[in-house]
Chain A
Amino acid sequence: MAVLVIAEHDGKQLKTGTASAVTAAAKMGGDVTVLVAGHQCADAAQAAAKLAGVKKALHCDAPHYQGFLAENLAALIVPLAANFTHLVAPATGFGKNLMPRVAALLDVQQISDISAVDAPDTFVRPIYAGNVLATVRSSDRIKVVTVRGTAFDAAGAGGAAPVEALAPGPDTGLSKFNGQELTKSARPELAAARIIVSGGRGMGSAESFKILEALADKLGAAVGASRAAVDSGFVPNDYQVGQTGKIVAPELYIAVGISGAIQHLAGMKDSKVIIAINKDAEAPIFAVANYWLVEDLFKAVPELTSEL
């Protein structure tokens, strides 16, 4: 058996989901190879080679991998697949976009967003917004799998695998990358943060998110949001935690002014400790909270910030 992990990276560094995907890959058995494809990504390839458990890093550099277009990356990965029993990627925006295209070209039914590896062909995955865990067995020759990052520990440093250059695949010319508008933030990334402070509709305005930011800065935390807060325009949509946003599992999740709809709970209920602050004593969020406080958030949050 041999596993190919498709690395998500920004050219310089690996994104956090990649190291978790390597851990999941190691559980599937066999040698783990990591593919780092992109434009000007030599540093990321070096970083991949240093992950514990990695046998080899493949570095493929070409201008047409800028923007990580699924069409071009799939054309590179599919011919490689013959040498592997498993293709693995993080279940992030990157992996979700790319891997089904690869799977279909290989005539394989992908297994999305796994939270556990039971056997090389058997995986556990959450469905129905995390309300059900399904154990599924694949009958396909090659297993194409995306991995829920928060369900696996990140592989540490300490590896010393060789980096091998790989010739680029074709430029399909089907789509063109026109750039990104990234949300600028000095705080930790949501998916990787140890502590997350999240606000919901109860925040009332974009302005009042400042009190959450002050609390987050005090804790070194990331700021998240419910869909209601995003739809109301309080914060950009990449702040969204939930089934349709990011799935997080920090050590501490502080939910402020969030009622706790199924959609939101799916994104955060695997957090180690959950705190909820809400003035509605009947809010469903209290059912998953370790500690909850029934109080007006505009009083409780500044008080919490000054207590810390």
Chain B
Amino acid sequence: MKVLVTVKRVIDPYVKVRVKPDGSGVETANVKMTMNPFCEIAMEQAVRMKEAGVVTEIVAVSIGAQQCQETLRTAMAMGADRGILVETDVEVQPLAVAKVMKAIAAKESPRLVIMGKQAIDDDSNQSGQMLAALLGWPQAAFISKLEVSGDSAEVTREIDGGLEKLTIRLPAVVTTDLRLNEPRYVTLPNIMKAKKKPLEVVKPDALGVDVTPRLTTLKMQEPAKRGAGVKVADVKELVAKLRNEAKVI
């Protein structure tokens, strides 16, 4: 079966993000960018399923500026067979992502779409659920286990109190949680091979999708800093501070 995997280009999670002085956004000039960690897990899942003989073709999709081609090349170095870039300079919000992916799913007819549970930049946690809704497919969000058998899949989801098991009908959309797998590193020979894999570039207009944002960001600011703390010498002093100063115990 064919799977679609979405990959988002985001600021590296280990970078300290800075808000622009005018509050219009965050500084992205000369900041290290990378594939969103949850998307790496989604890619890894697809590649493992291909290695297990369950998946025949992996198509990686990214939506955004021209530089997202790098993210798609990384996906191809991990094992995607080809890439599709939906190129736009507009800020693409989750509803628009879901609409773009619906249009691509209509062309590609995948049995499964694997997405990360959230992007570490906007922290929305929406696109996968929205895509499932628009396609009328079942969803399994925050999965830590996935087994496909015939026309359905057995999934384990991470929920607040523990784990939950579902059977979902295929085709379906799943979103990956951290514990689904540990993504592989890309190797140099695979990076070289990935350069030769096909990468198609389309515009949202050509897909018939309006990606105009519905949310306007009025401002961005850094949260209030916490006051400087106090180093205590020993446990006795700590307990005294908690009792008499902070009054929390």
Contact = CB atoms under 8 A, between A and B. Distances in A.
Are A and B interaction partners? Answer: yes
Interface of A: 67, 69-71, 74, 92-94, 96-105, 107-113, 122, 125-140, 173-183, 191, 195, 219, 227, 230-231, 236-238, 243-244, 246, 251-252, 262-263, 269, 272-275, 286-295, 300, 303-304, 307-308
B159 A93 contact: yes
Across the A-B interface, the 8 shortest Cβ-Cβ residue pairs: A109-B214, A104-B130, A100-B129, A174-B138, A100-B126, A104-B133, A178-B165, A182-B162
Given A71-B138, A109-B95, A131-B223, A96 B17 contact: no
Contacts of A244: 117-118, 177-178
Chain A CB within 10 Å, residue with most, of B131, B160, B165, B179: B160
Chain A CB within 10 Å, residue with most, of B121, B125, B140, B162: B125
B26 A101 contact: no
A18 to B, nearest CB: 13
A127 B16 contact: no
A303 B11 CA distance: 42
A105 B142 contact: no
14 contacts: A70-B132, A70-B141, A71-B139, A92-B160, A93-B142, A101-B133, A101-B139, A132-B220, A140-B214, A178-B166, A246-B160, A286-B231, A291-B238, A304-B238
Given A108-B214, A289-B229, A70 B238 contact: no
B32 to A, nearest CB: 14
Contacts of A107: 95
Contacts, number: 254
Given A180-B165, A237-B179, A133 B220 contact: yes
Contacts of A69: 166
A133 B127 CA distance: 21
A291 B138 contact: no
Given A104-B98, A131-B223, A180 B120 contact: no
Given A101-B129, A275-B242, A308-B249, A243 B120 contact: yes
Question: Chain B contact residues: over half helix, strand or loop, or mixed?
Answer: mixed
B155 to A, nearest CB: 9
A145 B227 CA distance: 31
A293 B221 contact: no
B169 interface: yes
A136 B220 CA distance: 9
Interface string B164-189: 11111100000001110000000000
Given A174-B169, A288-B226, A110 B158 contact: no
Given A126-B223, A132-B221, A244-B178, A175 B169 contact: yes
A258 to B, nearest CB: 15
Contacts of A243: 120, 123
Contact of A175 (B123, B166, B178): B166
B22 to A, nearest CB: 14
Given A70-B129, A175-B167, A133 B222 contact: yes
Interface in B60-115: 93-95, 98
B206 interface: no
A133 B225 CA distance: 12
A136 B218 contact: yes
B16 A176 contact: no
B222 A131 contact: yes
A133 B17 CA distance: 12
B169 to A, nearest CB: 6
